Structure 1
Amino acid sequence: MPKAYAYTRNGGPETETFIERDRPRPGPGQLLVAVRAAGVNPVDWKLRNGLRRPGAPEPELPAVFGNEVAGVVAEIGPGVTGFAVGDAVFGNPVGGGYAEYALLPVPVTAHKPAGLSFADAATLPVAGATAYDGVRQLDLPAGATLLVTGVGGGVGVAVAQIARAFGIKVVGTASEGKKEFVESLGAVHVSSAGDGLAERVRAAAPDGVDAVFDLVGGEVLETVAALVDDRTKLITAADPPGAARLGGSAVLRARTAAVLDEVARLVVGGELRPFVTATFPLERAPEALRAVEDGHARGKVVIEVAP
């Protein structure tokens, strides 16, 4: 039976386990995909810890990890057009993606270009698309300055590159150990360590920042919010309630195949590099998740399910 990696209840890593399950059957508007690669994201362990998106139902347990995959269509559900068995695709699964097979709804599934690897494609439905949606939402002109908190992670890496592709200057906060990496993205590095973050940002951007894309939340979000007068230019993918209290907002996700097509185009065109810095086979999924949960990963971590 096909294997998957799941959690059996809300809690810490002790709730995680490998399971075997029947091969899923695609329903109307769905594709069954043989997974080649699955992206690992902070939301994966946060859901295990009990995070719930507004209006989301309680997951059926055991719940398989994973919110972005790339693979090959194995079966097509009723009413599906535009896809065929054998097509290489990527998108947001329902029912988890750390698995040998996953179900993908057609509206959030795109064809994988030939010039895009499965590993890179698996980083785009969450991190790449969130970054793209947020940069578009801010709607900054070329030459504007964008502050990105937590720029060294998967979403931050994509934000910095997409913003740069649009002619936007990027200042990014990250640990001292990520300084060289952040600068390789074309961003100005600001140390996230210790007090005085606002002062360090002002020194790095003496003309001020025009917008903030927050990927940290909490006290960091509250500190950097004071750097922008127009709070419509304060968005977060980490702390929507905190941003709302400060007059900002969450990143508004489009969740469409058209956005996936666009971020794939940026990768193939050389304007966006996913920076997959670590890959693990499915049997080492616990290590992959720990690498992200521990908060020290640079770029993206990917689980490679099949060659």
Structure 2
Amino acid sequence: MLIVIAIVGLVLGRLAAGWASVLLEGMNSGGLLECASCRRPVSRRQRWLSWMPIWCECGTNPVRWHLASAVCLSALFAGFAWLLLGPLHCQDVTEVRPESLIRSRLPFHLLLLFLLWTATLTDLLDYVIPDEVTWGGAGLALLLATWSGDLQMMHLWVNWDLAMEGIHGPWSEQWLAWMNTHPHLHGLAWSLAGLTTGGLLTWLLRWVSQRLLGRPALGLGDATLMALAGAFLGWQATLCVLAIAPLTGGVIGVAVRVISGRGFVAYGPYLAASAVLVMSAWRWLWADFLSLRDIFSHWPSVLGLIGFAFGTLSLLLLALRVFRSITSRRDRR
């Protein structure tokens, strides 16, 4: 099974490179549309199907990143499938028991990985996250979640505050009855809630960054990327992604700075990496280690988590502002 999934990831990773280059037509396509030196067009066969380095007649360096794309997505597919289906059961939680992971949630989340990977490629190449990937993928997630009714990592609302059961009465029982009676409406509801949470909160983070830095540190593409992730993951997991994204960005940013000396990396890959981390560690985040289910049963705690995400990002943005001011003064000297 893992070998088959790895092969599928290899093929889709290669296609993602071709799709990313087409989406970036007129921009930096990474040499898969035309040679970066002489502007000679690359044939469609080479763009989509070539499994060899692409050489131009002008003799410039060959294009190889499409091969790295295939290998990386293949490894990502196989690793995630092993975490999901193997002995770790990374998304196994008490509240949600899908009928079949292999036929439902696995292909659903592999589709998300493919879309996140394509968006990461375009963002790394030219700091662009196309709407075709984000809004198209989010719309597809809404349709699939509604059609299946069994794709959620977590239900729209789960209340573990058992001590309050006597006060709230039969509300939780009515809610459970509604989910069981209307699984397709519930599928639409949780996916739409995730889409709204990811898109709206990231847009607010963009506004905060503009106030702190004088210009937005997040693009509109980052907001649509989180809307895409939210439509696949639901609002609880999306909040987790936003909470750890600044930390992920800090770690990756420092590593990139040390290794390559590059001072700026698009924020989209950090969001995508955070989404993959949450998908791959959901069981431990929700119940086995952090017990986030207690937080998500209590609205004030949910608001506190949102505040933590905003606060962490604000601190990092302030640090970035100080770093830029120090760098600019040093350059003027």
Indicate the TM-score class for this superposition, using the shorter chain for normalisation: under 0.3
Report which of the two has the higher share of strand. 1
TM-score with structure 2 setting the length: 0.23
Report which of the two has the higher share of helix. 2
Larger Rg, first or second structure (1 or 2): 2
